[in-house]
Every structure is written in structure tokens, then in C-alpha cells.
Amino acid sequence: MEIKNLSTRMLSKIAKSDEHGENSPYFDGWKAYDSDPFDPIRNPNGVIQMGLAENQLCFDLVQEWIERNPEASICSHEGLHAFKNIALFQDYHGLPHFRNAVARFMAKMRGGRVSFDPDRIVMGGGATGANEMLMFCLADPGDAFLIPSPYYPAFDRDLRWRTGVKLIPINCQSSNNFKITKEALEESYQNAKVKVKGLILSNPSNPLGTILDKETFKTLIEFINDKKIHLVCDEIYAATVFGGANYTSVSEIIQEMECDRNLIHIVYSLSKDMGFPGFRVGIIYSYNDNVVNCARKMSSFGLVSSQTQHFLASMLSDDDFMDKYLLESSRRLASRHSKFTNGLDKVGISCLASNAGLFCWMDLRHLLKEETFEGELGLWRVVINDVKLNVSPGSSFHCQEPGWFRVCFANMDDETMEIALRRIRKFVGTNEQENARVKMAKPWRKNLRLSFSSITYDHETRVSSPVIMSSPRSPLVRAHT
Amino acid sequence: MELVLRNQEQVLSKIATSDGHGENSAYFDGWKAYDSDPYNPVNNPDGVIQMGLSENQLSFDLVQEWVLSHPEASLCTPEGAREFKDIAIFQDYHGLQEFRNAVARFMERVRGNRAVFDPDRIVMSGGATGAQETLTFCLADPGDAILVPTPYYPGNDRDLTWRTRVCLFPVICDSSNGFKITREGVESAYYKAQDSNLRVKGLLINNPSNPLGTVLDRETLTECLRFTQDKNIHLICDEIYSATVFRQPGFVSIAEIMQENLSRCDPNLVHIVYSLSKDLGFPGFRVGILYSYNDAVVTTARKMSSFGLVSTQTQRLIASMLSDESFVEMFLQESTRRLGTRHRMMSKALAQVGIGSLRGNAGLYGWMDLRRLLKAPTFEAEMELWHVIIDDVKINVSPGASFHCSEPGWFRVCFANMDEETMVVALYRICKFVVHNKESPENVDRRKPCQRRSKLEISVSFRRLKDELLMTPRSAMVQVKE
């Protein structure tokens, strides 16, 4: 405590606040995993990481491409001639061939139904940096953005921490499959005590895994035009749509209806569709010229490494490869999703019907001892400690109803997924027996000891030992696909 | 539905509609002139030569040789591809351990092993640009001030103030003492800031200095440390040019001063900004580093680094390269030797036509004294001279005003971002301009009779200068010690 006081006393308000959000339970599960990670050989009883939305299913395809295309690297014999120019290139416009390739790829995954202007492509430090940058461009400290809940927990950090912007949730209910309604939009807007500058949402949705239907989309466009507020569409899961579902991007909607395009902005990234979160490829695509210019100047704070730009420019502009990749990736995601949801279904666990994303929105309401968020957290700690799975509780996504959990399925191989399903089956079976016995014996009491607290990372001790890992780390589980 | 294009000022944020990005400064006009008419020895021999960009292009052959003989260092070669997945997936904001270890070790080598760096204090950022901003977010609130000695790198205005809403308050340094930072100067600025109701949170020093090309001596560094400790404010040391010191006096890092004074000072107030953009010549790779002796800053900055992490593909390459100790040793020696040679070439040529520069021993530029060429000792005259240099001499140099220099007539001229042939052409143009400018009717009468030379004498000495420039050997003379 003493050390913390000494080292924090001279810092800014931003530094001393908790707005980085890492004290949320969303990260506690990762910490549990970090201290006891599953490994099929070395630690078969460890925690299986199902809280990380990563796409590990198609690396074999990428690796094959790399071996066939050595000139894509500035470090290969074939590509070395470009090393100097690329290493020197720090122009925040980005490499033209990179922007062209990204624009092409974005159009391709939308079935060629829209085209993207490479001159509107602006880089950001991952979607994390891109989202923050947009907030800096569109809102002043104290202003607010509306956001449908449940939403990605790190938005609290990305959109608010250093920008001072507030988030106002739009309440979405399971009764209509968490769809955004006009009434909910109006209610959030009218009740806002501060100036609302825009609305942000992810489509496909994290954590729901659903895509916006056209009707809801039209309602949204009408709403933001009416209120003259911005619409930011985080489309980073756009190429994770599977099962032949019809994905509509905001870029298509605005072709079909009247809209002030100066209010429309897209955030994209290669972290989910391609599985390259380490490469930090964040993209802002704005239809507003001033936003493009301003964001581009800001992008100096988080440009994509020119080495990475150069490599990706090659890969993304290989049309044949990208066509095959998109098809195969979608097929593998569909297969994994189906295996997983069927497995859950067999033990009476349903998920919200979804056709995108790297996760399912699992309904565990029937397993709650009580229909409260305490009940949800209690169940979650049992899932981590006893079932040994890291899943993410709905409350960390600001879900308004307890009992929903996000569970990721694309960041592991088939064998590990089987083990996860087996553990869930066992837990559900045991839980049912236990419930039956307890109901007969005595009134329910809170007997779920919070054993998790024994391995909870104390924030204060972490501060004095910066070496303790507390950030998202990918499980190094080999994916056999 | 009525669709009205709203006034942009209401639709966008104040930050977006402000000038805080700094790109309306004259600093960028020169680049624009270059962009529209860039020099090329074959295609555009009369174009503008870029001497306003502080880049290190002198040692790429060494790097390329290393890269070619270490294919496993790259993820995208057949030798390295098997690591591709693990590296592409890795987004932990601590960074690859091997990367942090290699960077820490490199920073030690650059300081001749006189300082020790803990890899767990290495935090990544989006270039030094991102590091400066992140540090400012951690240390100061909107409206607070950070002292910065003038002249200083123009990008500081954007990096430290634009989105953070912190302000920079100048510590005026001038040529009377070689632009040295003095305790009195810093104190005076500190109290002036306070008188303006500004809360001073720190002092930013740049060592080696951009644009001066000088290093801070031990005494000055110690004074800066003492002052900030006394006033309980932060000391931020931007050491991104640390491996560009090509001549004595050698480089002294704040890390060394810290180690010597550990028992007497509060380490929570000391922070270093670093990058590989200048020392290695990799600005495109966006390798920014924040090193703090304050645990909470390390932790917080690390959380913030999510906004600008280094691509793991690049982390991997850099980790490999910088942990090759024999390569690093060879590179540091050879790179500084080449910088020294190039610097000598430039200063010698300029001296021959009577242009002095601040005596520099580091950096990728010289701080040129063109006060005698000004029509008047004003910034208007400096701007006028600058436009002549761009439009007539066809060289982009950077006017002192863009570095917030308090005296008109100083210009930063970069020498490491071109090959030798281009350097010769550039120097020739400058010298020719100076000579003709000296001999112009307005100037002739001002000089004493003994200073006047016949036209024949001038053209002969000029031709000799050109010949000398063309004959300057590639490999040069002085062994540079670290």
C-alpha cells in the first residue's frame, strides 16, 4: 500500500482511475487460466480458455500461403530489396498497396455488394486504437455515446478511459432475442443527462454472435439521422458469418436509404476475421472527410508496422487465396459452432440462435441458484473452479439479465473442445442431482463458497510486481484442423 | 426526413476541429514543397532535396546483410513460418519476453554497459510519438503544463498536447551559451508558468538534442534531476538519438545519473522515452518504448499500450536482431562512424563558405547558423530566407521558428537521409547560394575592403570546394568511441 501511494501520488487522474476496466470479472477468468492453463499432456486438469474470442481455425491455410509467397516478406531473399524503403516508410497515409488491399478485402467479404475507397482507409492501433481514435474525433469529454447492451467489456476502456466520453447502454432483452428496439433507443436518448454524440454497436455482435436484420438497421439509420448523431459500426467480425446467413454491412444500408453519410463510420480489424490480433491492424473507414483527415493525423499514435502492412498487402490482394480462405474459414466456423451448440443442447443448454462470431451466447439461467447477478457470479466461480472452464459472465458485458454467458469456441482444437463439452456435461449432470437432493433436504442456502477469492489477484500486489501477467494472453494450444 | 449537413464544428469534437495536430506549421510546408517537386538524380535533378527529414539511412546495408543471413528471424520465410501462428495470435500487452529482453540489452549496449535496464519496465507504444503521449496521459491532467527547453522537436506540440490537453511551457535557451539548459533558465520558466496559473507537472529534456545535435553533459543532467526532485515534478528524458553520438563528448544517459544517485532521489519521478526510428533507421516499424522507474506508471502505461502495441511480427524480428550481440556491437560502431563522416563532410563544406553550425556531436542533422544571411534579425526575415532556400536553392531545411527557437536565423539541416552523391549536390547548392548571396550588391558594401574578394577568386575557390566534395572518400577516418 505504501509503495502504491508513493508511486501513484504524482500521477494524473486518468492514471489513478479504474477506467481501464481491468478490475472487472472479465479479466479475473483470464487470471485463473493464466495460473492453471490447460495442456492436454502437461496439465490435463487445467482451466480451458473459453473466454478469448480468437480465430485459430485457419492458420494452416495462411502458413501454406506464406511458404508459396516469400516475396511478401521484406526479410526473405525474394523480398529483401524492399526492406529499406519499407523500414523507412512512416507516412500516416499508409502504404498505398496496403490500403488498396484492405479496401478490396472489405468489399470481398461483403460479397462485392459495396466498394470501399482506399483513400478513406485510416490505420489505428488495432480496433482498440481505432475505436478510441473515433471517440476523440467525434465527442468531447463528458459527451456520451449510446451502446446496445450486452456489449464487449473493453469498450469501457477503449471508448471512455482517456477520452472522457460516457457510454449509455440501450437495454436489450432476451424476450425478443436481444434485438434493439426503437423504444429502447428513444428511452436511452431521452433519459441521457448529457449530450449524446452518437451510437456505437458491433455488427456482427459481440457477445451475441448475431447480425443486424435489415429492419432494425433501418430503424437505427432513421434514428441517428433524426437525432443528427453519429453511427459507429464495429464490423470486426464481418467475415466470421457462417451458415450462409445474409450479412448486411452499414456500407450497404446507406446505399439503400437516405442518410447523411457524414454521420457514418466503420471500425474494422484483422484480429478476428484473419486471426492476427498480434499484428495490430486496426482500420477506421469514415464517410466523413473531416473525420478521415483528423483520424489520419491521429493515427501517428498507432500506425500499423510498415513491415506488417507490406506483408498483408500481398496476402489480401491475392484474390484466389482470399476467396478460398473466406469460404473455408466460414465452413470451419459453422462446423465448430454446430458441434458445440449440439453438444450443449444434449445437456439442455441452449444458446441464442447465432450465425456469426467466434462464440455463443449461452443461456444458463436455469442453473442459477437465484435470479440475480450474485447468483450469476456464484455460478461463474463454480464454472471456473470446479468445471475448470473460463467463460465470460453476462454481467461483464453489462447484460441486464443474469444467467447469460459468452463461451468461445474457435480458439482451440477439436480434442480440447470435446474435453470442454465433457466437463460441461458432467457438471450439468452433477448439478441436477445436487439440486434435486438439496431441494428435498433443506431450503437453499448460499453454499457456494467463493473459493475463487483464494486465487483472485489482488490489484494492489500486482502494482508492485508489474511482472505478474494480467492481460489477455492466448492459450498456446495447437489447433489441429 | 430533412437531411441537413450540419456545421462540422458541432458534429465533431473540439480536438478534431482544433489546430492541435500542428500540421499548419511552417515545418510541414517544406515537406509539401518537396512532395510536389522531389529531387531525383536521374528523373528530376533540379528538384527539391529533402534535408528536413531526420532519418538514418546510412547503414541499411548492414541490416540487410544480417536479415539475409537470419531468415528464421522473420515469420514469413519458410524457416520462420512455423512460429507464425503463435506470434500472430499473441496480443499480450507485456510484449514478447524475448523482445523486451533484447531491447533492454540493446539500450544497455548503447550506453556502454554503464546502465542497467530491467526488461519488466519496458513498455511498448506506437513509436516515440505514442510513448510521449502515453506518458503525458499518465503524468498530467488537462490544463497542466510540462516545461520544455527551446528549441525543441515540433512534433512535441502534437504528441504531448493535442489529445491530452496538457500544455507545453518553454524554457528559453539561446546561442549566448550554446543553447545550454541552465538551472536558472529552468527555474525562471517554472515560476513564470506558475505565475500564469499553470500547474507544472514535469520537465521534458531531449538528449541527444533535436534540433541541436548536442548531448547534455553530466552537470546539466544532474541539475535537471535535482531541480525536478526539489520541485517534486517529473523528469522525462527523450533519448531516441542515443546511438547517434559520433564524437566526444560521449553520451551520458539519465539512467546512469539515476544509478549514481539512487539513494538520494525519488525514482518515481524519472522516465525515459526511446524508439528504434533514429538509431536503427526503422521509423516504419513503429517501435516506441517507454521506460519508467515508477511502478504505477509502468503498470498504467502498459494498459494504455493496447492503443499502440508493436506488431508481434516486428517484435519478433527486432528481438532476433538485437539479441545478436556481435551484430549489435558492429552496427553501433559502424553506424556512428558513418554518421561522423557525413557530419564532418557537411560542416567542413559549410565552414568553407563561412557558415557556422552549433558544434554538434550527435543526431542526424546540424544546427546551422544563417543569421548573417538574414535581411533583418526577425522571424519574418527568417521565413523569407527559408522560402528562398526552398524555392531558389531547392533544399528543404527546417527554420528555427518551427522549433520554437527564440532567435531567428537558425536552421536544422539533416544529413543522414540521403546518399553521398545527393549530399554533394545539396552542399554545392547551399555553398553556391551563400557565396552569391554574400556577393550580392546589398551585401558587398557592408563588408570591409579586406573581406572583398574578386569574382575570379570566388569562382576558383568554389570549384575547388566542389572537387573536394566529390572526392570525399566513402570510408573515413575517425574511430568513434561509445
The answer, yes or no, to whether residue A456 has pLDDT greater than 60, is: no
Q: Is A194 on the interface with B (CB under 8 A)?
A: no
- pLDDT mean over B187-199: 98
Under DSSP, the state recorded for B316 is H
Under DSSP, the state recorded for A175 is G
Query: Is the bond leading into A207 cis (omega within 30 degrees of zero)?
Result: yes
The answer, yes or no, to whether residue A455 has pLDDT greater than 80, is: no
pLDDT given at position A351: 97
Q: Is A477 on the interface with B (CB under 8 A)?
A: no
pLDDT given at position B29: 75
The answer, yes or no, to whether residue A368 has pLDDT greater than 70, is: yes
Query: What are the angstrom distances between the C-alpha of B266 and each of A13, A79, A303, B263?
Result: 21, 49, 34, 8
Put simply, the answer to whether A75 touches B76 (Cβ < 8 Å) is yes
- pLDDT mean over B162-189: 97
pLDDT tens-digit series, residues A371-382: 999 999 999 999
Which chain A residues have a beta carbon less than 8 Å from that of B162?
A: 298
The answer for residues whose C-beta is within 8 angstroms of residue B189's C-beta and 6 or more apart is: B147, B169, B170, B171, B172
pLDDT given at position B22: 81
The answer, yes or no, to whether residue A196 has pLDDT greater than 70, is: yes
A58: pLDDT confidence band, cut at 50, 70 and 90? very high
pLDDT given at position A10: 84
Q: How crowded is residue B329: how many other Cβ atoms within 10 Å of its Cβ?
A: 12
In a 13 Å sphere around the CA of A328, the CA atoms on its Cβ side amount to 15
Give me the residues paired with residue A283 across strands.
Answer: A123, A268
pLDDT given at position A248: 96
pLDDT given at position A67: 92
What span, in angstroms and rounded, lies between the C-alpha atoms of A3 and A6? 5
Which chain B residues have a beta carbon less than 8 Å from that of A158?
A: 306-307
Residue with cell 528523373: B43
User: Average pLDDT over chain A, rounded to whole?
Assistant: 89
- pLDDT mean over A290-316: 97
The answer, yes or no, to whether residue A322 has pLDDT greater than 90, is: yes
What span, in angstroms and rounded, lies between the C-alpha atoms of A83 and A86? 5
E strand spans, A319-399: 350-351, 359-363, 389-390, 392-393
The answer, yes or no, to whether residue B9 has pLDDT greater than 70, is: no
What span, in angstroms and rounded, lies between the C-alpha atoms of B274 and A452? 40
Give me the residues paired with residue A38 across strands.
Answer: none
- pLDDT mean over A347-368: 96
Which three cell numbers mark B243? 546511438
What span, in angstroms and rounded, lies between the C-alpha atoms of A127 and B253? 36
What span, in angstroms and rounded, lies between the C-alpha atoms of B71 and B12? 47
Give CA B328 to chain center in angstroms: 21
B19: pLDDT confidence band, cut at 50, 70 and 90? confident
Selecting from B23, B60, B317 the residue whose C-beta is nearest the C-beta of A307 gives B317
pLDDT given at position B437: 77
What span, in angstroms and rounded, lies between the C-alpha atoms of B401 and B323? 41
pLDDT given at position A474: 42
A192 contacts A168 by C-beta, under 8 angstroms:
yes
Q: Is A40 on the interface with B (CB under 8 A)?
A: no
pLDDT tens-digit series, residues B376-393: 999 999 999 999 999 999
What span, in angstroms and rounded, lies between the C-alpha atoms of A376 and B91? 29
B457: pLDDT confidence band, cut at 50, 70 and 90? very low
Identify whether A442 is a catalytic site residue: no
pLDDT given at position A470: 36
Angle of helix B420-438 versus helix B325-352 axis, rounded to 10: 20
Query: Is the bond leading into A169 cis (omega within 30 degrees of zero)?
Result: no
ipTM of the complex as predicted: 0.90
Residue A310: name the closest of A30, A86, A63, A117 by CA. Answer: A86
The answer, yes or no, to whether residue B442 has pLDDT greater than 90, is: no
pLDDT given at position B78: 85
A421 contacts A388 by C-beta, under 8 angstroms:
no
Give A102-134 as a DSSP string.
HHHHHHHHTTTSS---GGGEEEEEHHHHHHHHH
What span, in angstroms and rounded, lies between the C-alpha atoms of A435 and A448? 13
> Catalytic residue positions of B?
153, 238, 240, 278
Angle of helix B97-110 versus helix B312-322 axis, rounded to 10: 50
Q: What number of residues does chain A have?
A: 481
A155 contacts A167 by C-beta, under 8 angstroms:
yes
User: Average pLDDT over chain B, rounded to whole?
Assistant: 90
E strand spans, A318-414: 350-351, 359-363, 389-390, 392-393, 404-408
What span, in angstroms and rounded, lies between the C-alpha atoms of B117 and B119? 6
> E strand or H helix at B287, and its extent?
strand B287-292
Put simply, the answer to whether B300 touches A276 (Cβ < 8 Å) is no
Residue A234 phi, psi dihedral angles, 5° rounding: -85, 105
pLDDT tens-digit series, residues A23-36: 776 667 778 888 99
Identify whether A325 is a catalytic site residue: no
The answer, yes or no, to whether residue B44 has pLDDT greater than 50, is: yes
Identify whether A189 is a catalytic site residue: no
- pLDDT mean over B298-322: 97
What span, in angstroms and rounded, lies between the C-alpha atoms of A123 and B260? 43
How large a percentage of chain B has pLDDT more than 70?
88
pLDDT given at position A442: 52
Which three cell numbers mark A105? 478485402
pLDDT given at position B449: 45
Residue with cell 445437456: A347
- pLDDT mean over B159-171: 97
pLDDT given at position B285: 97
The answer for residues whose C-beta is within 8 angstroms of residue A115's C-beta and 6 or more apart is: A103, A107
β-strand pairing of B145-149 with B167-171: parallel
What span, in angstroms and rounded, lies between the C-alpha atoms of B11 and B3? 14
Query: Is the bond leading into A466 cis (omega within 30 degrees of zero)?
Result: no
pLDDT tens-digit series, residues A409-444: 999 999 999 999 999 999 988 777 776 776 676 554
Which three cell numbers mark B10? 458541432
Q: What is the nearest CA distance from A375 to chain B, expressed in angstroms?
A: 30
- pLDDT mean over A131-156: 97
Which chain A residues have a beta carbon less than 8 Å from that of B15?
A: 136-137, 140, 294
> Which of A60-64, A195-199, B476-480 is the least confident region?
B476-480
Give me the residues paired with residue A148 across strands.
Answer: A170
Residue A126: name the closest of B88, B17, B120 by CA. Answer: B88
pLDDT given at position B337: 98
The answer, yes or no, to whether residue B451 has pLDDT greater than 70, is: no
The answer for residues whose C-beta is within 8 angstroms of residue A69's C-beta and 6 or more apart is: A314, A315, A318
pLDDT given at position A330: 97
Q: How crowded is residue B262: how many other Cβ atoms within 10 Å of its Cβ?
A: 10
How large a percentage of chain A has pLDDT more than 90?
82
- pLDDT mean over B273-282: 97
Selecting from B78, B138, B284 the residue whose C-beta is nearest the C-beta of A306 gives B284
Residue with cell 448475431: A210
Over the Cα atoms of chain B, what is R_g?
Answer: 24
pLDDT given at position A22: 78
The answer, yes or no, to whether residue B40 has pLDDT greater than 80, is: yes
Selecting from A137, A262, A297 the residue whose C-beta is nearest the C-beta of B5 gives A262
Q: How crowded is residue A202: how many other Cβ atoms within 10 Å of its Cβ?
A: 24
Angle of helix A182-191 versus helix A214-227 axis, rounded to 10: 30
A6: pLDDT confidence band, cut at 50, 70 and 90? low
